[in-house]
Protein backbone atom coordinates (compact mmCIF):
# COMPACT_ATOMS: atom_id res chain seq x y z
CA UNK A 1 0.00 0.00 0.00
CA UNK A 2 2.97 2.40 0.57
CA UNK A 3 3.38 2.39 -3.19
CA UNK A 4 -0.19 3.59 -3.67
CA UNK A 5 0.33 6.70 -1.53
CA UNK A 6 1.59 9.75 -3.43
CA UNK A 7 2.73 12.59 -1.18
CA UNK A 8 2.01 16.05 -2.61
CA UNK A 9 5.19 18.02 -1.97
CA UNK A 10 3.60 21.47 -2.00
CA UNK A 11 6.36 23.34 -0.16
CA UNK A 12 8.11 26.68 -0.74
CA UNK A 13 11.75 25.64 -1.15
CA UNK A 14 14.19 22.89 -2.12
CA UNK A 15 15.49 22.81 1.46
CA UNK A 16 12.01 22.24 2.87
CA UNK A 17 11.30 19.53 0.28
CA UNK A 18 14.56 17.70 1.04
CA UNK A 19 13.86 17.89 4.77
CA UNK A 20 10.42 16.33 4.27
CA UNK A 21 11.67 13.59 1.96
CA UNK A 22 14.35 12.70 4.49
CA UNK A 23 11.92 12.75 7.43
CA UNK A 24 9.41 10.62 5.52
CA UNK A 25 12.13 8.14 4.56
CA UNK A 26 10.57 4.72 3.79
CA UNK A 27 7.10 5.92 4.76
CA UNK A 28 6.76 7.41 1.25
CA UNK A 29 8.11 6.19 -2.08
CA UNK A 30 6.08 8.25 -4.53
CA UNK A 31 6.01 12.06 -4.64
CA UNK A 32 3.97 14.58 -6.53
CA UNK A 33 5.80 17.70 -7.68
CA UNK A 34 3.38 20.49 -8.53
CA UNK A 35 3.66 24.02 -9.84
CA UNK A 36 4.87 25.59 -6.59
CA UNK A 37 7.83 23.29 -5.97
CA UNK A 38 8.76 22.80 -9.62
CA UNK A 39 9.03 26.58 -10.06
CA UNK A 40 10.70 27.47 -6.78
CA UNK A 41 13.38 24.78 -7.29
CA UNK A 42 13.64 25.42 -11.06
CA UNK A 43 13.00 21.71 -11.50
CA UNK A 44 15.98 20.69 -9.34
CA UNK A 45 13.74 18.73 -6.97
CA UNK A 46 13.41 16.04 -9.64
CA UNK A 47 17.13 15.24 -9.43
CA UNK A 48 16.97 14.97 -5.65
CA UNK A 49 14.00 12.59 -5.81
CA UNK A 50 15.86 10.46 -8.35
CA UNK A 51 18.99 10.24 -6.20
CA UNK A 52 16.71 9.01 -3.40
CA UNK A 53 15.16 6.48 -5.83
CA UNK A 54 11.68 7.88 -5.33
CA UNK A 55 8.96 7.78 -7.97
CA UNK A 56 7.80 11.10 -9.41
CA UNK A 57 4.39 12.36 -10.47
CA UNK A 58 4.96 15.67 -12.29
CA UNK A 59 1.71 17.55 -11.68
CA UNK A 60 1.91 20.57 -13.96
CA UNK A 61 -1.57 19.98 -15.43
CA UNK A 62 -0.84 20.99 -19.02
CA UNK A 63 -3.78 22.82 -20.60
CA UNK A 64 -3.11 24.46 -23.97
CA UNK A 65 -3.43 23.87 -27.70
CA UNK A 66 -2.31 20.42 -28.95
CA UNK A 67 1.06 21.57 -30.32
CA UNK A 68 2.06 23.39 -27.12
CA UNK A 69 1.06 20.53 -24.82
CA UNK A 70 2.69 17.92 -27.04
CA UNK A 71 6.02 19.76 -26.99
CA UNK A 72 5.86 20.34 -23.22
CA UNK A 73 4.98 16.67 -22.69
CA UNK A 74 8.09 15.58 -24.61
CA UNK A 75 10.21 17.57 -22.17
CA UNK A 76 8.32 16.18 -19.17
CA UNK A 77 8.86 12.62 -20.38
CA UNK A 78 12.54 13.36 -21.09
CA UNK A 79 13.00 14.39 -17.45
CA UNK A 80 12.40 10.76 -16.52
CA UNK A 81 9.24 11.21 -14.46
CA UNK A 82 6.97 8.22 -13.80
CA UNK A 83 3.68 10.06 -14.31
CA UNK A 84 2.51 13.44 -15.56
CA UNK A 85 -0.85 14.99 -16.32
CA UNK A 86 -2.83 17.13 -18.73
CA UNK A 87 -6.24 18.74 -18.36
CA UNK A 88 -8.84 16.52 -20.04
CA UNK A 89 -10.84 19.64 -20.92
CA UNK A 90 -7.97 20.50 -23.32
CA UNK A 91 -9.70 18.00 -25.66
CA UNK A 92 -9.28 14.68 -27.41
CA UNK A 93 -6.84 15.86 -30.09
CA UNK A 94 -4.55 17.44 -27.51
CA UNK A 95 -4.54 14.23 -25.46
CA UNK A 96 -4.14 11.73 -28.29
CA UNK A 97 -1.32 13.65 -30.00
CA UNK A 98 0.41 13.94 -26.62
CA UNK A 99 0.22 10.18 -26.04
CA UNK A 100 1.45 9.38 -29.54
CA UNK A 101 4.32 11.89 -29.44
CA UNK A 102 5.50 10.83 -25.98
CA UNK A 103 5.45 7.15 -26.95
CA UNK A 104 7.40 7.79 -30.18
CA UNK A 105 9.91 10.08 -28.47
CA UNK A 106 10.48 7.55 -25.69
CA UNK A 107 10.94 4.75 -28.21
CA UNK A 108 13.38 6.73 -30.36
CA UNK A 109 15.43 7.96 -27.40
CA UNK A 110 15.39 4.87 -25.22
CA UNK A 111 13.58 6.26 -22.21
CA UNK A 112 10.58 4.80 -20.45
CA UNK A 113 7.07 5.93 -21.30
CA UNK A 114 5.57 7.70 -18.28
CA UNK A 115 1.94 7.21 -17.26
CA UNK A 116 -0.16 10.02 -18.73
CA UNK A 117 -3.15 10.99 -16.63
CA UNK A 118 -6.05 13.36 -17.40
CA UNK A 119 -7.37 15.84 -14.85
CA UNK A 120 -11.19 15.64 -14.85
CA UNK A 121 -12.86 18.09 -12.44
CA UNK A 122 -10.67 19.58 -9.70
CA UNK A 123 -11.55 18.27 -6.25
CA UNK A 124 -11.72 21.85 -4.99
CA UNK A 125 -14.92 22.38 -7.03
CA UNK A 126 -18.33 22.01 -5.42
CA UNK A 127 -21.72 22.41 -7.15
CA UNK A 128 -21.80 26.16 -6.67
CA UNK A 129 -18.27 27.00 -7.83
CA UNK A 130 -18.63 24.53 -10.72
CA UNK A 131 -21.80 26.19 -12.04
CA UNK A 132 -20.02 29.57 -11.93
CA UNK A 133 -17.56 28.46 -14.63
CA UNK A 134 -20.44 27.67 -16.96
CA UNK A 135 -20.50 23.89 -17.24
CA UNK A 136 -24.03 22.74 -18.09
CA UNK A 137 -23.72 19.17 -16.81
CA UNK A 138 -23.37 18.05 -13.17
CA UNK A 139 -19.93 17.31 -11.70
CA UNK A 140 -20.40 13.49 -11.87
CA UNK A 141 -21.64 13.70 -15.48
CA UNK A 142 -18.72 15.93 -16.48
CA UNK A 143 -16.21 13.66 -14.73
CA UNK A 144 -17.59 10.61 -16.54
CA UNK A 145 -17.59 12.35 -19.94
CA UNK A 146 -14.02 13.50 -19.46
CA UNK A 147 -12.87 10.09 -18.16
CA UNK A 148 -14.27 8.40 -21.27
CA UNK A 149 -12.62 11.00 -23.49
CA UNK A 150 -9.29 10.37 -21.73
CA UNK A 151 -9.65 6.65 -22.30
CA UNK A 152 -10.55 7.07 -25.98
CA UNK A 153 -7.52 9.35 -26.38
CA UNK A 154 -5.18 6.67 -25.05
CA UNK A 155 -4.43 8.06 -21.58
CA UNK A 156 -3.63 5.64 -18.76
CA UNK A 157 -6.14 7.05 -16.31
CA UNK A 158 -7.55 10.13 -14.63
CA UNK A 159 -7.16 12.39 -11.65
CA UNK A 160 -10.54 12.42 -9.90
CA UNK A 161 -12.17 12.55 -6.50
CA UNK A 162 -12.31 9.17 -4.75
CA UNK A 163 -16.08 9.74 -4.74
CA UNK A 164 -16.03 9.25 -8.52
CA UNK A 165 -13.51 6.39 -8.75
CA UNK A 166 -15.98 3.54 -8.53
CA UNK A 167 -18.16 4.76 -11.37
CA UNK A 168 -15.12 5.46 -13.53
CA UNK A 169 -13.94 1.88 -13.01
CA UNK A 170 -17.41 0.59 -13.90
CA UNK A 171 -17.51 2.54 -17.16
CA UNK A 172 -13.83 2.54 -18.21
CA UNK A 173 -12.75 -0.81 -16.74
CA UNK A 174 -10.60 -1.85 -13.76
CA UNK A 175 -7.33 -1.28 -15.62
CA UNK A 176 -8.07 2.41 -16.17
CA UNK A 177 -6.18 4.16 -13.41
CA UNK A 178 -7.73 6.46 -10.81
CA UNK A 179 -5.38 8.90 -9.08
CA UNK A 180 -7.24 10.59 -6.25
CA UNK A 181 -6.53 13.76 -4.31
CA UNK A 182 -9.23 15.06 -1.97
CA UNK A 183 -8.22 12.60 0.74
CA UNK A 184 -8.59 13.58 4.38
CA UNK A 185 -8.03 11.28 7.36
CA UNK A 186 -10.68 11.87 10.04
CA UNK A 187 -9.86 14.84 12.25
CA UNK A 188 -7.72 16.69 9.66
CA UNK A 189 -8.61 20.01 8.05
CA UNK A 190 -10.50 20.10 4.73
CA UNK A 191 -8.86 23.40 3.72
CA UNK A 192 -9.81 24.13 0.07
CA UNK A 193 -10.81 20.54 -0.76
CA UNK A 194 -14.53 19.86 -1.23
CA UNK A 195 -15.22 16.40 -2.70
CA UNK A 196 -13.26 14.41 -0.12
CA UNK A 197 -13.19 10.96 1.50
CA UNK A 198 -11.01 9.30 4.14
CA UNK A 199 -8.09 7.12 2.97
CA UNK A 200 -10.04 3.97 3.81
CA UNK A 201 -13.12 5.09 1.89
CA UNK A 202 -10.94 6.10 -1.08
CA UNK A 203 -9.48 2.60 -1.37
CA UNK A 204 -12.93 1.02 -0.98
CA UNK A 205 -14.27 3.28 -3.71
CA UNK A 206 -11.67 2.16 -6.25
CA UNK A 207 -8.82 4.67 -5.96
CA UNK A 208 -5.58 3.19 -7.31
CA UNK A 209 -3.40 6.00 -5.96
CA UNK A 210 -4.13 8.42 -3.10
CA UNK A 211 -2.58 11.87 -3.41
CA UNK A 212 -2.19 13.41 0.04
CA UNK A 213 -0.50 16.71 0.80
CA UNK A 214 -1.20 18.89 3.81
CA UNK A 215 -2.43 16.15 6.19
CA UNK A 216 1.15 14.82 5.91
CA UNK A 217 3.31 17.84 5.06
CA UNK A 218 1.76 20.08 7.72
CA UNK A 219 1.64 17.40 10.40
CA UNK A 220 3.95 17.81 13.39
CA UNK A 221 5.07 14.23 12.65
CA UNK A 222 4.90 13.70 8.87
CA UNK A 223 6.43 10.22 9.01
CA UNK A 224 3.78 8.98 11.45
CA UNK A 225 1.01 10.74 9.53
CA UNK A 226 2.04 8.94 6.32
CA UNK A 227 2.31 5.59 8.12
CA UNK A 228 -1.13 6.07 9.69
CA UNK A 229 -2.63 6.73 6.26
CA UNK A 230 -1.03 3.59 4.82
CA UNK A 231 -2.28 1.55 7.80
CA UNK A 232 -5.76 2.87 7.19
CA UNK A 233 -5.48 1.98 3.51
CA UNK A 234 -4.59 -1.61 4.39
CA UNK A 235 -7.27 -2.22 7.04
CA UNK A 236 -10.27 -2.50 4.76
Instruction: Give the contacts of 134 (CB within 8 A, at least 6 positions apart).
Output: none
Span interacting with ligand C5P, options 14-22, 47-55, 62-70, 119-127, rule CB under 6 A: 119-127
Q: Which of 50, 61, 103, 218 is catalytic?
A: 61
**Residues numbered 38-97 forming contacts with ligand C5P, rule: CB under 6 A:** none
| C-alpha of 184 from chain center | 15
Classified as helix, coil or strand, 192 is: coil
Establish if 139 lies at the interface with ligand C5P (CB under 6 A): no
Does 212 sit near ligand C5P (CB under 6 A)?
A: yes
Residue 28 near ligand C5P by CB under 6 A: no
Asked if 213 is part of the footprint of ligand C5P (rule: CB under 6 A), the reply reads yes
Size of the site for ligand C5P (CB under 6 A): 13
Nearer to ligand C5P, 101 or 122 (CB): 122
Cβ closer to ligand C5P: 10 or 208? 10
* Inter-axis angle of helices 92-109 and 66-78, nearest 10: 30
Decide if 4 contacts 208 (C-beta within 8 A): yes
Comparison of 59 and 102: residue with beta carbon closer to ligand C5P: 59
Q: In the bound complex, what is the minimum distance in angstroms from residue 109's beta carbon to ligand C5P? A: 28
Task: Report how far apart, in Å, the C-alpha atoms of 202 and of each of 161, 182, 206 are.
Answer: 9, 9, 7
Provide the sign of the torsion angle of the four alpha carbons 94, 96, 99, 105, taken in this order. Answer: negative
- Which residue's CB is nearer to ligand C5P, number 59 or number 70? 59
Q: What is the greatest pairwise CA distance in the chain?
A: 49
61 catalytically annotated = yes
What residues are annotated to the active site? Answer: 61
Amino acid sequence: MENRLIVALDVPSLAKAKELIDVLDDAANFYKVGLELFLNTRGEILDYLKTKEKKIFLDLKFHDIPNTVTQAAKWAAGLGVDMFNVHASGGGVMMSTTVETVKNTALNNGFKVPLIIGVTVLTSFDIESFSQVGYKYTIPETVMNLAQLCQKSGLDGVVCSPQEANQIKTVCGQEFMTVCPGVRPRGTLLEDQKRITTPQEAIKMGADYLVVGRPITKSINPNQAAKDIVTEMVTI
